[in-house]
Amino acid sequence: MAMEIRQALCVFCADCETVCPTHSIQASGGTVLINQDSCTECEGHFDEPQCVSVCPTDGCIVPTP
């Protein structure tokens, strides 16, 4: 279970990077990526994925298929 960023919708604000409790989001070089191995969808930390809560773009961060 992990979330992923739909790159076409990301505006590279990096707001998601700072709120991730598992430090799974890295913004560098004009891209923002979620580490699929460490993202827990915030389970055990928060009721909702915090990256989704702060992202200004609806539908930008979605569960991996």
Footprint on this chain of ligand SF4 (rule: CB under 6 A): 3, 5, 10-16, 19-22, 24-25, 32, 34, 39-42, 49-51, 54-57, 60-61
Measured in degrees and rounded to the nearest 5, phi and psi for residue 6 equal -80, 105
Q: Record the tokens describing residue 55, joined without a space.
A: 């992202």
Q: Could you give the CA distance from residue 41 to residue 19 in angstroms, rounded to a whole number? A: 12
Rounded to a whole number of angstroms, the minimum distance from the CB of residue 18 to ligand SF4 is 10
Rounded to a whole number of angstroms, the minimum distance from the CB of residue 54 to ligand SF4 is 6
Q: Using alpha carbons, select from 25, 7, 8 the residue that is nearest to residue 16.
A: 25
Rounded to a whole number of angstroms, the minimum distance from the CB of residue 25 to ligand SF4 is 5
